[in-house]
Amino acid sequence: MIRIILSVILATSLLANFYLFVRLVDAGVMLDNTRSEVRRLHDRARISLGFVQRAWVGKGVASLSGLASALEKEGLRIDDSEQDAVEIGDLRFEVKGGVIVRVDYID
């Protein structure tokens, strides 16, 4: 009788250990997938920022003000309290002499 009880306890323990091992491996796979997704999103953000920089660097601040007022009506956060920068959503447009000289993400 004691042998049967010990065998049941051992089998239950082995099953529990196997279950935890499977969960651990699954968590590792999910972590790798998450890292890949973060890398992909980082690359996408870098490409998008490149397009925005090409489109806006060198343009006048008047055209940016028009875009900012249109986007503000749609509910996007606009911060133009600084003299040399305008923040639209997650983007920061640096302005010198009435011309946009740099576009970056707000960190």
- Give the pLDDT score at 83: 84
- Give the pLDDT score at 17: 96
**Of 58, 64, 65, 68, nearest to 99 (Cα)?**
58
Q: For residue range 24-62, list pLDDT tens digits in order.
A: 999 999 999 999 999 999 999 999 999 999 999 999 888
The mean pLDDT of the chain is 92
What is the average per-residue pLDDT within 12-24? 96
- Give the pLDDT score at 66: 87
- Give the pLDDT score at 20: 96
What is the average per-residue pLDDT within 61-67? 87
- Give the pLDDT score at 67: 87
Kindly report the pTM of this predicted structure.
0.68
Q: In the sheet where 99-105 sits, what is the strand order?
A: 78-79, 85-88, 91-96, 99-105
d(C-alpha 86, C-alpha 92), whole Å = 6
What is the average per-residue pLDDT within 66-92? 88
